Each structure stands twice: as structure tokens, then as C-alpha cells.
């Protein structure tokens, strides 16, 4: 995949003081990640349809107290996009091998959207390596996801996502193999603009430059195919979840107005040491809409019970 120079990792990282780009071969694929700051390691996993760059509103403040590692997960950005391996357990194993390669005995982990699903899979499968876990508008797929409506309830599908009966139409669209690439290649910004308007309270906060960064990252057929594979693996993720034990490490769930109620209902089924908070004056892209609230919640959680 060829990305225009101004949106390439090497250019974007210049605005992240103290951070550098790195690549590592793990679990048979190459992952791109950026690293900066000092302190306890904090692994950050982005979601769809963004990349490592989505952490830019919060990363500089977090790096004052933590060594922050933001990873382009399998299929994202300039990380490798193999044909298989998009179930969250395999993706968590990618991250496991990166953690080991970096020499960390234990890490904090923070994931948004699809990144939250991978972070939870990591915690289920490798709990001894997690100190504290944070998920934002993303939880591991369970059978509950099968109850999502194919058709929106009358009066609930407007310009903005309905908080009480959210209609996540892309969950179905991204299941279709082959067609999204043909429709969106070279014009992914059409989907981005619609999505940001639909799931954000104030979509103007997502700048034109940010939109161009993400459109550049997803504009080719290979990237669309790989990112849709995260969704097409949900059936395998659900099956894997049936064997997982309750999470015992401290877990903070942060929900926007579109996800808070569902996280508050769902996370207690899988976590025993849980706190769920809402940033209800933000849509799904909380880093952009309410970065100060995200930073405050994350830092407060990570510093709780620390001497």
C-alpha cells in the first residue's frame, strides 16, 4: 500500500514529540508501532476506521507518566495484512509477542473500538501479563452481538446515532466479502464523512487533515479487505469467548453516549474488578471530542492504589 508522503508514518510522527516509529516481526507478520515517554508501559490499540494516529489528542499527556506504545493491529495502517488471522485471539497473540519482544513483564493496556476487543482478548488469554485494562467503546464480541437489528426500529435511524436503540449498519456491511472494496476503493472518505457525522456529537472536531490521514490508510482494496476481516471473525470470537474465565485485573470501561449503557450492562458478566464510566457529552470518537476527560479518567484509574 502506497500512502501519500504527508500522511506517511514518517511524516506524521514528527508532530509527536519524543516518539519514534518502529517495526517488529511477531507471530509471523510485521507490525508497525510508535513508542515514546517513560514509566510503566501502556500498550494502546486503535479501532476502525483509524490507525495509530488516532491517539494524537491524548498521547503527549499520557507519555509524561508512561511509556506509551501505540500499535497498528494486524490489518491496520502499515502493519501487515495477511489473508487470515483476524480473530481477536490471534490478534492478541500478535500483541503478546510484541510485548515479549519489548521485554515487558507486565503492561497496562488500553483499546478503543476493535482495539478494545483485542485488548480484552489479550486479558482473557494472558491475564498474568496485564496490570490494568482500559476499554473505550469496545468490548469482546459475545452472543449478544447476534441480537443487533438488521432493520432499525421506526424513528431511531436519523443523522445521529440513537443512544437507546443504536443502529450500527456497518456491522452487517463489513461482513460482505469482496463488495466493499469495489465500492469504496479510492473514495473511502465518503464512508468516513458519513460515519463521523453519524456517531459523533460534533463531527467538525474531526479535522479535514485527520480525515485525509484515515482515508489515505483505508483507500486501497487490501486495507478495506483486512479491516472488514476484523468484523468477519466475530463468529470465531464469540465461540472463543465461551471458554474464557472472568477477568480479575482492574478493568475500566469508558463509554460514549452511544455505548455507555451497553458497556454498563455487558462488562459485569466478564469482569469482577470493574469500573464503568460514561463520557456522555461525546460520541464514539472520544479522543477527538473529549480528550481531557479521557486523559483524566485514564490517569486516575492507572494511579489508583499506587504508592
- DSSP for 81-123, written as a single string: --SS--SHHHHHHHHHHHHHHTT-SSEEEEEETHHHHHHHHHH
Number of domains the chain contains: 1
Instruction: Tell me the three cell numbers of residue 87.
Output: 480473530
Place of cell 452487517: 172
Burial (CB count <10 Å: 0-12, 13-18, 19+), residue 151: exposed
Q: Please state, in angstroms and rounded to a whole number, the distance separating the CA atoms of residues 105 and 243.
A: 25
Report in angstroms the alpha-carbon separations of 15 from 7, 20, 126.
12, 10, 33
**How, if at all, do strands 40-45 and 107-112 pair?**
parallel
Alpha-helix residue ranges (DSSP H) falling in the chain: 9-12, 59-62, 88-101, 114-125, 170-173, 179-184, 189-199, 208-218, 221-232, 234-241, 260-266, 286-289, 291-303
| Residue spans of the chain under pLDDT 50 | 307
- Answer whether 94's CB lies under 8 Å from 80's CB: no
Query: Phi and psi (nearest 5°) for 69?
Result: -125, 110
CATH code, 218:
3.40.50.1820
**pTM recorded for the entire structure:** 0.97
CA distance 184 to 82: 20
Distance CA 78, CA 28 (A): 15
- What is the per-residue pLDDT for 240? 98
**What is the three-class DSSP state of 165?**
coil
Interhelix angle 234-241/88-101, rounded to 10 degrees, is: 80
Cβ contact 76:218 at 8 Å: no
- For position 4, what pLDDT does the model report? 61
**Orientation angle between helical segments 208-218 and 221-232, nearest 10 degrees:** 90
| Cβ atoms of residues 138 and 111 within 8 Å | yes
Q: Which domain range does residue 206 map to?
A: 5-303
Take residue 65 and report the three cell numbers written for it: 507518566
The set of cell numbers assigned to 90 is: 490471534
Predicted confidence at residue 5, as pLDDT, reads 86
Sign of CA dihedral 124, 126, 130, 135: negative
- 135 in Cβ contact with 251 (< 8 Å): yes
Phi, psi dihedrals of residue 85, rounded to the nearest 5°? 95, 25
Determine the 3-state secondary structure of 256 from DSSP: strand
Q: Pick the closest to residue 68 from 119, 16, 117 (CA basis).
A: 16
Amino acid at each position: 500500500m502506497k500512502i501519500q508522503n504527508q500522511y506517511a508514518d514518517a511524516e506524521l510522527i514528527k508532530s509527536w514529540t519524543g516518539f519514534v516509529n518502529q517495526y517488529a516481526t511477531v507471530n509471523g507478520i510485521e507490525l508497525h508501532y510508535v513508542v515514546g515517554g517513560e514509566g510503566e508501559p501502556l500498550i494502546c490499540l486503535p479501532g476502525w476506521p483509524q490507525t495509530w494516529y488516532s491517539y494524537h489528542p491524548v498521547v503527549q499527556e499520557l507519555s509524561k507518566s508512561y511509556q506509551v506504545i501505540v500499535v497498528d493491529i494486524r490489518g491496520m495502517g502499515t502493519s501487515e495484512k495477511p489473508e487470515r488471522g483476524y480473530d481477536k485471539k490471534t490478534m492478541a497473540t500478535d500483541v503478546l509477542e510484541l510485548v515479549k519482544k519489548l521485554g515487558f513483564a507486565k503492561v497496562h493496556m488500553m483499546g478503543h473500538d476493535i482495539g478494545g476487543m483485542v485488548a480484552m482478548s489479550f486479558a482473557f488469554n494472558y491475564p498474568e501479563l496485564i496490570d490494568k485494562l482500559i476499554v473505550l467503546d469496545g468490548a469482546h464480541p459475545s452472543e449478544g452481538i447476534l441480537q443487533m437489528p438488521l432493520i432499525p426500529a421506526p424513528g431511531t435511524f436519523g443523522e445521529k446515532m440513537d443512544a437507546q436503540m443504536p443502529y450500527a449498519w456497518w456491522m452487517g456491511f463489513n461482513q460482505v466479502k469482496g463488495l466493499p472494496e469495489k465500492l469504496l476503493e479510492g473514495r473511502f472518505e465518503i464512508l468516513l464523512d458519513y460515519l463521523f457525522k453519524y456517531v459523533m456529537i460534533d463531527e467538525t472536531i474531526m479535522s479535514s487533515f485527520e480525515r485525509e490521514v484515515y482515508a489515505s490508510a483505508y483507500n486501497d482494496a487490501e486495507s478495506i479487505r483486512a479491516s472488514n476481516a476484523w468484523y468477519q471473525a466475530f463468529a470465531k470470537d464469540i465461540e472463543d469467548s465461551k471458554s474464557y474465565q472472568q477477568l480479575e485485573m482492574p478493568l475500566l470501561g469508558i463509554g460514549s453516549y452511544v455505548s455507555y449503557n451497553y458497556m454498563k450492562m455487558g462488562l459485569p458478566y466478564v469482569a469482577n474488578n470493574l469500573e464503568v464510566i460514561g463520557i456522555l457529552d461525546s460520541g464514539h470518537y472520544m479522543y477527538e471530542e473529549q480528550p481531557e476527560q479521557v486523559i483524566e479518567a485514564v490517569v486516575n484509574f492507572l494511579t489508583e492504589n499506587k504508592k
